[in-house]
Amino acid sequence: MPKSKEMEEEMKENSQDKNFMYKLAEFIVDKRNLFFLIYIIALVFCIFSRNWVKVENDVTKYLPDSTETRQGLTVMNDQFVTYGTAQVLLANISYDRAQEAADMIEDINGVTSVTFDNTEDHYKGTSALLDVTFDGEEEDQISIDAMNEIKDKLTGYDVYYSTSVANDDSANLESEMQVVTAIAAVIIVVVLLLTSKSYAEVPVLLITFIAAALLNMGTNFLLGTISFISNSVTIVLQLALAIDYAIILCHRYTEERENLPAREATITALSKAIPEISSSSLTTVSGLLALAFMQFKIGEDLAVVLIKAIILSLISVFTLMPGLIMVFSKWMDKTVHKNLIPSISAVGKFAIKTKYIIPPIFAAVIIVACVFANMCPYCFSTGSTSTPRKSESTIAQEKIDSTFGSRNMIALVVPAGNYEAEKNLLADLDACDEVKSTQGLANTEAMDGYMLTDSLTPREFSELVGLDYEVAQLLYSAYAINQENYGEVINSSSKYSVPLIDMFEFLLDEIDKGYVTLEGDLKDQMDDLSGQLDKALLQLKTDDYSRLVVYLNLPEEGDETFAFLDRVHEMMAKYYTDNYYVVGNSTSDYDLSSSFSRDNLVISILSALFVIIILLFTFKSAGLPVLLILVIQGSIWINFSFPYLMDSPLYFLGYLVVNSIQMGANIDYAIVISSRYDDLKKQLPIKEAIIETLNQAFPTIITSGSILAAAGILISFLSTNGVISAIGTCLGRGTIISIILVMGVLPQILYLGDVIIEKTRFSINTDNLIQNTGGTMVINGRMRGYVSGIIDAEIHGVIKGEVKGQIDVNNIDVIKKEEPEDGGDGNEEA
C-alpha cells in the first residue's frame, strides 16, 4: 500500500524510538530459523529424555515425614521383607476342582504356598478364593514369572485376579491417557476450526502445543521422581490451560495483518502480546502455586510440574509460534473464512432485562452451595472411589469383596525383644470385636502346640525336637555363654528357659558352623524348620523391630475405623514407650484426613489471595476483584455441592487440585469479560457495552472453556484410576459451571456494581496529567482522549495536531507546542 512522504517520515522517527518489547519481538521474528534449529534439537532430545522420568505410584510417599504412616513405612521397607501375594477367585467351580487348581498353582516355581480350605473364607456357593504367596517380593522377577504362569495355567477358568504382582498400574494409566490425549486433540482441532479466522491457524497452534507438551515431558526427568498424577494429567491440562496464550497471539496477528505486512504484523503482534499473555498467565500460575503450600507433598509435585508446563507453553508461544506464523502467513491469508461463531446479542439483552433478578437468585444459590460444599463427603482411600470405567483389577477386587467380604489389614511395628509384651498385645487385640485375626511370632505355632516365642527348659526342648537331654543341656550352656549369661552355666541349667525361636536360631547357626551334627529324621526336620523360620523372621522380626499383622472387621476408612486406630495406639502404649507404629491403608487414610483440613484451608485462602492481588494491579480497583472472585468462588461451591447432593464420596485430591485450578484458570474468563466491559463502557452506554462485551468475549471463552471442560470429562470417563477420574470429573463440571456464571451472571453483577467499581478505583495523580495541548509531540505511554477522533491505547510515536485527553507528563515530549484556539473543534474531552 503506498504511503505518503509524511507518513514515511513519521515511521522513520518511530523506528528510532522502538521500545524494548518491540526490539525483542523483532529479534525473535528475524532470527526464527535459529529458534527453529534450537527447537528441533531440544525436541529430539526430549523424545528420548521423556523415558528417563521416574514415576511414583504410591501417594503415601508424599506424606510429610512427621506422619506415622511415613515413619512406619520407612521402618518396614528398611527392616522387613514383604512377599508378593495374590487373591485368585475361581467362579462357577466345584470344591474338588478348585482344590485341584490350588494344588496345580502350589507346584509352580516361585509360589511359596496356596491357602485354600472348605471354610467360608475360601469357598462360598460356587466360588473359590485362593490366597497365593510368592517366593519374592511383588517387584521380583520370580514373583512376576510365577504370576504369569498362574494366568497361563488357569486359562479357560472363570477367574479374577487381585494382585500388585505383574500388574503395572503406571503403564495402564499411561495407555489410558494416550487415548484421552488423542481424543482431546481431535476435540481441540474441531474447536479451533470453528473459532479460528483462518484454517491455516490450526496447524500453527497445534505445532506450538505439541512442542510445548513434549518439552515439558522431556524435562520432567530433571525433577527426579514425579507422581503418577502429575505424569498422567499434565499433558491434557497443559493443552487446555495454555491454549489461551497461543490464541491471543494469533488474534493479535490477524488484527495487525489488516494494515501491515506479515513481518511487521508479527513483530507488532508479539510485542503487544508478550505483556498481555504474561499477565494472563499469572492468575493460572498463582492458583497452581497455592498447591505448593500443601502439607501433603503431592501438591508441591503437581504445582512444580504444571507451573513448568505453563512456563514452557509461554516460551513456545513467544519464541516458536512467531516463526510458524511467518511460515504459514501466506496460507493464513488464503484460507480466511467467515466467522462461524454466532452473535449472542440476545444473551446480552437478556442480561440487561434480568439485572435485578439474576443477582439475588445467584446470591441465594451460592449461600446454599456454600453450605452443601462444606458438607461434601470426602474419602481418602482409592478403594472408596468409583469410576465410570473399571480396570480388570478393580472388577476382580469388587467381585472378591462382594462374595467373601473385604479385608482390611494393618501392621503393628514394635521394638524387638519383648516377646511377653507381643503375646499380651496380640491377646488384647484378639479380644476386640473389631479384630478378625492376628499374626505374630507370639501366636505362630512352632511344634506340638508351642508358639515360637514360648520359653522352654532344656528338657522341654529335648522332648520337643527329639534331642538327647545331655545334648540339650550342652546346647543351653553354649547359648548362655554366647549371651554372656555365665550365671546360668555355673548354676544348674535345668531350669534355664529360652524362647523357642531364639534357641532354634542358635541351633541352626551351630549346625551351619559344624559344631552340631544331626542325622536322620531330626536333620530333615531341622532343614524344613530352617526354611520356614527364615521366611518368618524376614517378615516378622529383625534385630530392632517385630511386626504384628492384624486383620480388621472394619472398612478401610471411616469414623469407626479411625476411632479403633486410636484404641490400638492406647493398647500399644501399655507395653511400649516409643518407636512403635501402626501402618496400613487405614492409617494412611487417617493421616491424609488429618492433613486435609489444613491443606484445604491453605489452598482456598492462598489461591484467592494470590488472584486478588493480581487483579488489584490489573484493574486498579478494589471493588472489581471482589466481584470477580465472588463469581468464581461461587462456581467452586456449586461444583462441590454435587457430591453432597448425589451422596457420592469425593476423593480429597480431586477437591484440592481442582479448587486451585478452577480459581486460577477459570478466573481468566471473568477477566476477559471485565476487561472488555471496562474498555467498551468508555465509548458506549453501559447497556450497549454489556451486549457488545458478551459478543466480543464469547469466542475466546467458548474456545478455551470447551477445551478445558472436554479434557476434564474425557479424563473422568476414560480413566480407571479413581484419583485421576475424580480430578477429571470436578475439573470438567467446574469449568462448565464457571462458563455459565461468567456469561449468565457476571454481566448483571458488573452492571449493578459499576458504581462500586468506579468509586473503588485507585486515584490518579492529576498533577502529572496534561488535559489540553497541541503541536508536535512524542508520546511513550498510555493516553486516553481525542486526537482527530477517539483514542485509548498504548502510544509509541509522534502526534501532530490538537490533543485533548489524559497523558502522563513524564511520558510526553512536546517538540512544538501550539495552544488550541478557544472553543477547540467541538470535541468533548474523553
Q: Tell whether the model's pLDDT for residue 658 goes beyond 70.
A: yes
In sequence order, what are the residues at sequence separation of 6 or more whose Cβ sits closer than 8 angstroms to the Cβ of residue 59? 227, 229, 298, 653, 723
Q: What is the largest CA-CA distance in the chain?
A: 130
pLDDT band at 515 (very low <50, low <70, confident <90, very high): confident
Q: What is the mean pLDDT of residues 286-312?
A: 89
**Which pLDDT band, with edges at 50, 70 and 90, does 685 fall under?**
confident
- What does the angle CA 741 – CA 744 – CA 748 come to, to the nearest 5 degrees? 105
C-alpha 310/C-alpha 288 separation (Å) is 10
Tens-place pLDDT, residues 356-367: 999 999 999 999
> Quick one: what percent of the chain has pLDDT higher than 90?
33
Nearest to 736 by CA among 700, 706, 695: 706
Q: Give the per-residue pLDDT at 779.
A: 55
Contact in structure between 652 and 379 (CB atoms under 8 Å): yes
The most confident of 71-80, 445-454, 663-672, by mean pLDDT? 71-80
Nearest-10 Cα torsion for 766, 768, 774, 775? -170
Residue-wise pLDDT tens digits, 738-759:
999 999 999 999 888 888 888 8
Query: CATH for 344-399+587-762?
Result: 1.20.1640.10
The average pLDDT across 92-96 equals: 94
The secondary structure element, H or E, covering residue 751 is helix 746-752
Higher pLDDT pick, 430 / 506: 430
Phi, psi of 5 (to 5 degrees): -60, -35
Model pLDDT, residue 576: 93
815 has a pLDDT exceeding 70: no
Pick the CATH number of 78-167 from 3.30.70.100, 3.10.20.30, 3.40.640.10, 3.30.1490.100: 3.30.70.100
- CA neighbours within 13 Å on the CB side: how many for 491? 8
Please state, in angstroms and rounded to a whole number, the distance separating the CA atoms of residues 374 and 427.
Answer: 42
Domain ranges of the chain: 1-62+171-338, 78-167, 344-399+587-762, 766-817
Q: Which long-range contacts (CB under 8 A, 24 or more apart) does 476-481 make?
A: 476/503, 478/506, 478/510, 478/515, 479/503, 479/506
The whole model's pTM is what? 0.77
Q: How far apart are the first and last CA of the chain?
A: 32
Domains 1-62+171-338 and 344-399+587-762 share a fold: yes
Q: How far apart are CA 433 and CA 395, in angstroms?
A: 29
Give the per-residue pLDDT at 788: 54
Q: What kind of architecture, by CATH, is found in domain 1-62+171-338?
A: Up-down Bundle (1.20)
452: left (phi over 0), alpha (psi -120 to 50) or beta: alpha
Q: What is the mean pLDDT of residues 557-564?
A: 92
Write out pLDDT tens, residues 100-124: 999 999 999 999 989 998 898 899 9
Report which residue type is found at 89: L
Q: Which of 80-89, 290-299, 663-672, 741-750 has the lowest mean pLDDT?
A: 663-672
Q: For 222-278, how does the pLDDT look when each residue is reduced to its tens digit (9 = 90+)?
A: 998 898 888 888 887 787 777 778 888 888 888 888 888 999 999 999 998 888 788
